[in-house]
Structure 1
Amino acid sequence: MSSTPTREVARRVFAREFNDGGYTFKESDDERAPHYLLLPTGAKANRVFFVGTLTEKEDVGDDNEYWRGRIVDPTGTFFAYAGQYQPEAASALRELEPPAYLSVVGKPRTFETDDGNINVSVQPESITEVDAATRDRWVVETADRTLDRIAAFEDEGNEYARMAREQYDLSVEAYRDAAIAALESLEETDELEAGAEA
């Protein structure tokens, strides 16, 4: 067996659920052990994968470029930050002009504000411009994954769901509603486009 660490699978997650997460943990004391964000539906995420619309971008760096992108999916907003240590992602944010559909893979990052709230953002590994069909496919697949996590939430053997129940005082029904609303938003878009073509 090789001891080379394998890259963690990037979890598909909607902004609504991602932003409600805030609890991070490691599964070993090794200093190189991966950090995980605990998703409220009971899964661990070392990396996330989302697709949304870049609605605004801003260079918020002082001495060096440090780009913040605001990326919206049907359930809410992701904030992605990229600087000198994420040169490809920073370059993508610099070059892209809103509005644009983006596919983003990155690591969850948490930050405690002065008033004790936890803000969650993404440190992107890759940012790719995509088309509306790719965005729609992501919404459908992410809704499926979210509903699968919710279905497994009450399973006694699901240690991450147990952890989520302990860490978050949240109802997973809100994420079911968000997933269904996201799917319904696609149908509305299809109807609008069909009407425009008629």
Structure 2
Amino acid sequence: MASTPTREVARRVFAREFNDASYTFKESDDDRAPVYVLLPTGQRANRVFLVGTLTETEDVGEDSEYWQGRVVDPNGDTFFMYAGQYQPDAASMLRELEPPAYVAVVGKPRTYETDEGDVNVSVRPESISQVDEATRDRWVVETAERTLERIRRFGDADPEAPDVDEYIQMAHEEYGDDVERYRQSVVGALESMQDEQAEASAD
């Protein structure tokens, strides 16, 4: 009996780490097998969950609508997302939303190589919804916790050990072992959120 495919967990990740996740892979030769990006902290991601400030939307399509959205996290780093005719709900949200607005996005990571040979990472949104600041703040705290958890597991692992987690080993091979910048993005996001809250309470 064929097992029903379960939906992949949507990983919480800050934009700095997401934009560095340039390595993609499949775990089987099946055409319909999911494509994963490898996060530099050693976890695979087929879907991501992000919340931030939608700062800009633009229809960049030529023959038909193809919407680009920029979502900025508390560090000022940007997630780029693209939605067209195959993501009609997400495309209509990008058409209708008035930046700046807090949004929650669930989507699939996509990579493409530029003419210069760089790999850019973007999100193909499955859903976009407008949210409030409290939802954004909860996401920041939970994403900080998840990121620190990944950093801790990555740091504790011996990539040479036979029982090392395969994704941590892959991350060492693809990206090296410096994950300090992702710890800094956690600290920066939490400090930025606290500063916003302090300013709001002072008003």
Normalised by the length of structure 2, the TM-score is: 0.94
Matched, 1:178 2:185: yes
The residue type equivalent to 2:93 in the other structure is A
Q: Indicate how the Cα distance of structure 1 residues 64 and 170 shifts in structure 2: closer, same or farther if over 3 A, else same.
A: farther
Q: Deviations over 1:151-194 (max 9, x none)?
A: 10032422111100100135111101110111111110111001
Contact 1:140–1:183 (Cα < 8 Å) also in 2: yes
Deviation at 1:115, TM superposition (A): 0.6
**2: distance between equivalents of 1:100 and 1:2?**
43
| Structure 1 range deviating more: 149-158 or 131-140 | 149-158
| Count of equivalent residues | 196
SS state at 1:115 partner: coil
Deviation at 1:2, TM superposition (A): 5.2
Q: Which position in structure 2 is the counterpart of 1:152?
A: 153
| Structure 1 residue runs of 4 or more that deviate by more than 6 Å after TM superposition | none
| Structure 1 range deviating more: 58-67 or 150-159 | 150-159
Deviation at 1:23, TM superposition (A): 0.1
- Matches for 1:8-23 after TM superposition, within 5 Å: 8-23=8-23
Q: Indicate how the Cα distance of structure 1 residues 170 and 62 shifts in structure 2: closer, same or farther if over 3 A, else same.
A: farther
Q: Which position in structure 2 is the counterpart of 1:54?
A: 54
The residue type equivalent to 1:96 in the other structure is L
**2: distance between equivalents of 1:123 and 1:142?**
20
Q: Which position in structure 2 is the counterpart of 1:33?
A: 33
Deviation at 1:105, TM superposition (A): 0.2
Q: Deviations over 1:67-118 (max 9, x none)?
A: 0000000231000100000000000000000000000000000010001000
The residue type equivalent to 2:8 in the other structure is E
Deviation at 1:137, TM superposition (A): 0.4
**2: distance between equivalents of 1:72 and 1:182?**
11
The residue type equivalent to 2:139 in the other structure is W
SS state at 2:178 partner: coil
The residue type equivalent to 1:188 in the other structure is D
The residue type equivalent to 1:104 in the other structure is V
The residue type equivalent to 1:193 in the other structure is A
Contact 1:152–1:158 (Cα < 8 Å) also in 2: no
**1: distance between equivalents of 2:148 and 2:195?**
21
Q: Deviations over 1:39-62 (max 9, x none)?
A: 000000000000000000000001
Contact 1:67–1:90 (Cα < 8 Å) also in 2: yes
Contact 1:103–1:128 (Cα < 8 Å) also in 2: yes
**2: distance between equivalents of 1:173 and 1:115?**
27
The residue type equivalent to 1:83 in the other structure is G
**2: distance between equivalents of 1:158 and 1:141?**
23
